[in-house]
Amino acid sequence: MPARLDSRKPGFEEDFVRFLNVKREMDDDVERTVADIVKHVREAGDAALLHYTRTFDRFEVTTQTLAITPGEIARASASCPADQIAALEHAAKRIRDFHERQIPAPLDYTDAFGHRLGYRWRPVSAVGMYVPGGTASYPSSVLMNALPAKVAGVARLVMVVPTPNGEINPLVLAAAAIAGVDEIYRIGGAQAVAALAFGTKTIRPVDKIVGPGNAYVAAAKRQVFGTVGIDMVAGPSEVLVVADAKCDPAWIAADLLAQAEHDVNAQSILISDDAEFTALVERAIAIHLQTLPRADIARQSWADFGAIIHVAALDETPALIDRIAPEHLELALDDPEPLLARINNAGAIFLGRYAPEALGDYIAGPDHVLPTSRSARYSSGLGVFDFLKRSSIIGASPAALRATGPDAVILARAEGLDAHALSISLRLDGSADDGS
């Protein structure tokens, strides 16, 4: 059964801390296995990829067939229902438009001493994108990972996707075509991450790796970080819904189950100030579970990690929300603005009764790749900034150096870095005294 907490009862703080510390991810120690796979790919290259694809995906592949060809992509796209392609194109247009508004401006100015200062932005040259494979993979995630990269100006976007038993969701390939992915390889798991990071004869290395995956993929991303950049190490999905008795219980129940059906380790939390309403939501959950195709997954997630938190007043919720730092936050209220102004930690915030989290998963525009496991306390969802690098610009005239250099010399000598001081003082001694 889901956890039940009540802020009005003694011991709530202890119960809440215990709830926050519940571990939802698998306890399997995969680090050693992944380290072996990464080492093997680094040393053996393509041969290791072929071996692991045969072993884990039960699919024979050669170096000539590692890449999915433009013809295969075109045939897959043509096989998809027209309404699904239209929906993907609509979503892509909205996602692209939102992310184009994120493109930052450069900074370039001259200060009062005559220093030219600023910064400029440049895209990461090559990005690898991991996409979970099989027939139950998610085309929407292809758009959410690929489009910000393309908007940022990434020249080479490489997608890896496992094809267990040789199968792939054709809509995933259609989404890749719509998003402008440059290369696609039929490999997955830790071996695909290693190939992207270190390269093989067939696959050139990239500079950054993004995209979700299982525990092995997450471990591989951790292990190759430093050789390449990564977006984040994502944990199981989560949603926190703040709702009052004016909401339709069936709507809120569906919102909670929308996260629960992702994964047995997903988490759905309801905060309300009305106990009768929460009972109606639980009843609606039971009814929905009778017909949902992924009911077994959703039921286990709700039973193992779900929670209902009863508060005396919704005014209490911002402090609780900031401690939970949820991936997704729904404020299903007539006027969410007063609470919104007081909330600091959430990956994405959905306002009002008509903005369910599922809207953000597909069509709203902001990215659905978001920080999990309370990491919204210090990180943000995927966006254009994740595919850009910022370089500082510093210039100085002789007059500018005379104005600021002496203090730099003092600080360098104070730190015992005499060559630093010398590199400035030589210029001070030799600078023209022409006021320039």
Query: Tens-digit pLDDT profile for the chain (436 aa)?
Result: 899 999 999 999 999 999 999 887 655 688 999 999 999 999 999 999 999 999 999 999 999 999 999 999 999 999 999 999 999 999 999 999 999 999 999 999 999 999 999 999 999 999 999 999 865 679 999 999 999 999 999 999 999 999 999 999 999 999 999 999 999 999 999 999 999 999 999 999 999 999 988 889 999 999 999 999 999 988 889 999 999 999 999 999 999 999 999 999 999 999 999 999 999 999 999 999 999 999 999 999 999 999 999 999 999 999 999 999 999 999 999 999 999 999 999 999 999 999 999 999 999 999 999 999 999 999 999 999 999 999 999 999 999 999 999 999 999 999 999 999 999 999 999 865 544 4
Token pair 């990269």 is at which residue?
149
At 28 the pLDDT is: 63
Q: What are the domain boundaries of the chain?
A: 3-23+235-364, 31-230, 396-430
| Domain covering 3-23+235-364 in this structure, CATH number | 3.40.50.1980
At 30 the pLDDT is: 86
As a whole number of angstroms, the distance between CA 234 and CA 238 comes to: 11
Catalytic pick among 238, 282, 327, 330? 327
At 436 the pLDDT is: 47
At 145 the pLDDT is: 97
Top-level CATH class of 396-430?
mainly alpha
At 235 the pLDDT is: 85
- Examine the residue annotation and report whether 327 is marked as an active-site residue of this protein: yes
At 29 the pLDDT is: 80
Query: In terms of pTM, does the model score above 0.85?
Result: yes
Q: Give the number of residues written for the chain.
A: 436
Catalytic pick among 99, 262, 288, 328? 328
* The 238-243 sheet, strands edge to edge: 3-6, 307-310, 267-272, 238-243, 328-332, 348-351
As a whole number of angstroms, the distance between CA 251 and CA 264 comes to: 21
Token pair 């932005």 is at which residue?
121
Contacts of 332 (CB under 8 A, 6+ apart): 241, 242, 243, 244, 247, 251, 252, 255, 350, 352, 353
Is 31-230 in CATH node 3.40.50.1700?
no
Which tokens hold the place of 168?
């792939």
Domains 31-230 and 396-430 share a fold: no
Instruction: Give the DSSP letter string of 91-139.
Output: HHHHHHHHHHTTPPPPEEEE-TTS-EEEEEEEE-SEEEEE---BTT--H
